[in-house]
Amino acid sequence: MSGVTFEIIGRDGAARTGKLWLGRGAVRTPAFMPVGTSGTVKAMFPGDVHAAGADIILGNTYHLMLRPGAERLDRLGGLHKFMNWPHPILTDSGGFQVMSLAGLRKLSEEGVRFRSHINGSYHMLTPEKSMEIQHLIGSDIHMALDQCIAWPAPEDEVELAMELSVRWASRSKSAFRALEGRAQFGIVQGGTYARLRHRSADSLVDMGFDGLAIGGLAVGEGQELMLQTIENTIPHLPDNKPRYLMGVGTPEDIVEAVWRGIDMFDCVMPTRSGRHGQAFTHQGRINLKNACHAEDESPLDPMGNSSFSAVPRAYLHHLFRSGEILGSMYLSAANISYYQDLMETLRKGISEGCLAQTVTKIKCDWREGEAKNKAI
């Protein structure tokens, strides 16, 4: 049984728009999932995340298993109740952060043993353990455990990692605690090698996951190679299941990937950049720390429709120059609002069959805005 339904409502070329029906609500696709690393979308009240238009957020299994801990989260009623987010949550497998954050990693067929970056305690992450933790967290979409390797890597190493990921995906599938309204996604690996992506996709599709993710991209290979890999992979994914491009990305990356048939995204960029004074707007990127904004009374994003878009740039400049938390609060919220606006615009473009014009307009606004900002 599949616990979830994916309904495609409209198409334009390879792009699709639809709804993924989960137990806790529907996710409008293409969807951008704000990242709620440690049980909080950083510097945002959950109500503002939802008001921005986010139907679903992502939680990091690695962070949550270390703090507050999966068993504690379970005793406290699960992550949704804990962080006051009653809407859908997708959890990653923990594998990516184990490879990027943890100390002293030891990889084996069984899984990966590592030390916490917080207190040095030892942990073992296996496909079964990852599924158990995601169950205790109570998330709505569980990701299979995969092996993430660094880029660039030689083809034979990428092949070994991909094959291990396929075996782990199979074990993840067996260990998944299926519940009505809960989904599990497999993750296609294989670096930038079309042959490996093809083999990985075929193996995972056969396992019958509710959705397929493309992992191991946006790790330094550049947009061209990333898009090429997406194009090489998508023909091997089922049309009737959601496709999730993990860890992507910039607004530019998202637009291009939606064109090519991707349905879901997550990225820390809007919140992390927001905390560092970088805004994403309808008129392109703005670095609020730049001296040119010191007396710039124009609203952050004149074409934006959230209250956060209306904050004057001069004030944001002051907040970032002064190291004030309110700067991070305003800009994280404004960036998440912009990302959600962008997704809504893309969904509309697809359902109205005018995605080409929509994308042209989006890119034109970016270009004109950035030229104007440079001229200040």
> For its own copies, which is the closer residue by CB, 68 or 238?
68
Residue 66 beta carbon to its own copies: minimum distance, rounded to whole angstroms: 10
- Assigned token pair, 373: 């900002």
**Which residue in 15, 183, 311, 336 binds its own copies (CB under 8 A)?**
311
- Restricted to residues 229-288, the positions that interact with its own copies (CB under 8 A) are 275
Among 7, 9, 23, 67, binds its own copies (CB under 8 A): 67
> Do you find a cis peptide bond into 30, omega within 30 degrees of 0?
yes
- Whether 266 is catalytic is yes
Q: At what angle do helices 127-137 and 155-175 cross, to 10 degrees?
A: 50
Give the whole-angstrom CA distance, residue 136 versus residue 129: 10
Q: Looking at 150, 178, 325, 371, which residue binds its own copies (CB under 8 A)?
A: 325
In eight-state DSSP terms, residue 111 is: -
In order, the DSSP letters of 256-296 are HHHHTT--EEEESHHHHHHHTTEEEETTEEEETTSGGGTT-
Of 30 and 36, the one with the shorter C-beta distance to its own copies is 36
Interface with its own copies by CB under 8 A: which range of 102-110, 181-189, 210-218, 291-299?
291-299
CA distances from 366 to 139, 251, 260, 295 (A): 36, 10, 21, 22
Which range in 13-21, 153-161, 202-210, 294-302 contacts its own copies by CB under 8 A?
Answer: 294-302
Q: Which stretch binds its own copies (CB under 8 A): 82-90, 95-103, 206-214, 224-232?
A: 82-90
Residue 365 known to be catalytic: no
* Residue choice 39, 247, 251, 349 for contact with its own copies (CB under 8 A): 39
| Distance between CA atoms of residues 249 and 270, nearest Å | 9
Q: How far is the CB of 97 from its own copies (least distance, A)?
A: 14
Q: Which residues are designated catalytic?
A: 92, 266
Contact residues toward its own copies (CB under 8 A) are 38-40, 42-45, 67-68, 72, 75-77, 82-84, 275, 294-295, 297, 311-312, 314-315, 318-319, 321-322, 324-326, 328-329
